[in-house]
Structure 1
Amino acid sequence: MDIDPRKLTVLLAVHRAGGVLAAADHLHLTPSAVSQQIARLEDAIGTAVLDRQPGGAVVTPAGRVLAEVAERIEGELTDARKALAALNEDVTGTVVIGGFQTIIGAVLVPMLHRLREDLPGVEVVILEVDPEDGQQRLRSGGVDLLTLEADSPVGRRTSRGTRDVPILEEPWMALVPATMPTPTGTADLEHLPWLGVDDGSAAHPATYRARRSLATDPATVHSYENYNVARSMVAGGLGIAIVPALATREDLGEATKAVSLPGLGTRRLIARHRTTRSEPRAEVLAVLDAMIAVAAELE
């Protein structure tokens, strides 16, 4: 039995995203390409790995075994990065990180406190930046690591002389009024008002995918760009929203609740750095490894 680890990555994406379409968006592949990879994996092992249902796809017992193997491979790679980072204990220098609200609070600030003990010779500067501005600063050398939503316009646009490193994958959540019955699927949200979202956010394609699965397109009147604004609007009864799990880590109060629903998929966060003869520097790699370690603990 010959199992290609690359096909396990595709299976894991389908398992996490809850369906082939969402996994295709995640992997930047066509749904047909994802289905072909799954079919070849099933041919290789001689049994089905997915149970395809109208609302998405779930892994079979055999698929769960292979998905767990894929997760262990990811874990081994993370451990390898940690071991390499340990070789850089004497590294020194300044690393400037450009970030946004949710990753700064959940990953970068905790990482900064840890690095003060683990890498005392490295100074980290955190800047809250707009993605476009951050990309310009990365090119000019004003930022060493730029954190992005992979499905945002800047995250999807590859840049010559840079490399993207996965940092975190987290589920999209439905943010709904606390007074409504807890939904069990997106169909339960069909006749409710939805909040629109700025097309520069990764929540825009996530929201579009969720609404596309409904029989009728729900009305939208109000819109948001910032996830805190989305929380306020939902609390005020203006509509429901699709937000990442990190945006629901803080107390939502009594007016809203966050619900995980099948088929919403995941938000992928990446860190982008320059690749030249002198970049990335040792201190940049050390901070990148620390960032991945903190994010892995969140997962």
Structure 2
Amino acid sequence: MDVDPRRLRVLLAVVRAEGVTGASRVLHLTPQAISQQIGSLEEELGVELFDRTHRRLSPTAIGLTLAGHAERLEAELVAAGRAVAAATGRVSGVVRMAAFQSAIRWLVIEALPILRAEQPGVIPMVIELYGLGVEKSLRTGEIDLMLDERDDDQDDPSAPGIEVRQLLRDPYYVVASASLARELRTPKALAAQRWIAAPEGTSLDLALQRLAKRGKFEPTVAHVCKEFPSVLALVAAGEGVAIVPELALGDARGVEPCPLTGLGARKLLAIQRVSKRGTEPAVDAVVRALTRKKG
């Protein structure tokens, strides 16, 4: 009995996404089309591939077995793509890249012309996404590449099925209004300042907590912002001081970095899927362009 590999791909997407709706986003098909493909596959094989007695679709034993075969077929297609890329030096395909504001502004924008010059067959699609859920979207195939950040003191993500590459190390600076910046020369001098802080648990929040510990003070938080243009605008307006990475200083107006050292840095990371036969050549091409940005 022949098994349609296209329907196996649909089966694998449903298993990974834990449902029809997530699979429809991955494959850019309607949920109805996904359900129809699964139903046709079950009818052809004469077996049930999913347990539908609960609210969430659960693959049956044979469903999981076929999903495993689909993963191996997927890995072989990746290997075929790598062989073609090695022979021709050219790759192609759409690469959906999830990134956050500062990475898009100062990293992705400069890498896109490099990518188009080196690999015109690769079509990058930038999707502004950040936070919880993005890594799941990578695993299910909804996106192909995600850019993430980690503080120096944080470990890089580590899990089966992903590969992590550091793109650059982005040093931190304390910034203040131009009239105040030169006066803030030591961590203790910052004790009396109001802070434009980052959301709890982010890399910049960890950097502020580390600086406060070093200066033996408790930060007085005046505002909490996650996007650097908002942070810099509040600093320029005299609403407080803040920690920002070097990349964000390219958009700074009316603020200056304080003469402090040893603040640490954030790491900008590229995270992609990896199968038993390696990573996808088109995604590799995007990562290479990101590491070769101008400037």
TM-score by length of 2: 0.65
> Structure 1 CA distance, aligned partners of 2:105 and 2:96?
16
Q: Deviations over 1:83-108 (max 9, x none)?
A: xx998631111211110111111111
**Counterpart position of 1:276:** 275
Query: Is residue 118 of structure 1 aligned with residue 118 of structure 2?
Result: yes
**Structure 1, unaligned runs of 5 or more:** 1-84
CA contact (8 A) 1:89 1:118 kept: no
CA contact (8 A) 1:172 1:260 kept: no
**Counterpart position of 2:244:** 243
**Counterpart position of 2:232:** 231
Q: Deviations over 1:207-244 (max 9, x none)?
A: 11111111332322322122221112212222111011
Query: Do the aligned partners of residues 260 and 112 (structure 1) sit closer, same or farther apart at CA in structure 2, a change above 3 Å counting?
Result: farther
Alignment of 1:146-185 (within 5 A): 146-151=146-151, 156-182=156-182, 183-185=184-186
Paired amino acid for 1:135: E
CA contact (8 A) 1:88 1:286 kept: no
> Structure 2 CA distance, aligned partners of 1:112 and 1:118?
10
Q: Deviations over 1:191-214 (max 9, x none)?
A: 212223202421110111111111
Shift of 1:133: 3.1
Paired amino acid for 2:133: D
Shift of 1:188: 2.4
Aligned partner of residue 110 in structure 1, secondary structure? helix
Q: Which moved further from structure 2: 94-103 or 208-217?
A: 208-217
**Counterpart position of 1:95:** 95
Aligned partner of residue 215 in structure 2, secondary structure? coil
Report which of the two structures shows the higher radius of gyration computed on alpha carbons: 2
> Structure 2 CA distance, aligned partners of 1:146 and 1:155?
17
Shift of 1:260: 5.3
Query: Is residue 266 of structure 1 aligned with residue 273 of structure 2?
Result: no
> Structure 2 CA distance, aligned partners of 1:119 and 1:211?
46
Aligned partner of residue 132 in structure 2, secondary structure? helix
Aligned partner of residue 292 in structure 2, secondary structure? helix
Query: Do the aligned partners of residues 107 and 176 (structure 1) sit closer, same or farther apart at CA in structure 2, a change above 3 Å counting?
Result: same
- The CA RMSD measured in Å over matched residues stands at 2.5
**Counterpart position of 2:218:** 217
Query: Is residue 253 of structure 1 aligned with residue 253 of structure 2?
Result: yes
CA contact (8 A) 2:99 2:128 kept: yes
Q: Deviations over 1:158-190 (max 9, x none)?
A: 333112100010110111111115133323222
> Structure 2 CA distance, aligned partners of 1:193 and 1:238?
7
CA contact (8 A) 2:274 2:280 kept: no
> Structure 2 CA distance, aligned partners of 1:271 and 1:144?
11
- Percent of aligned pairs sharing the same letter: 26
Aligned partner of residue 96 in structure 2, secondary structure? strand
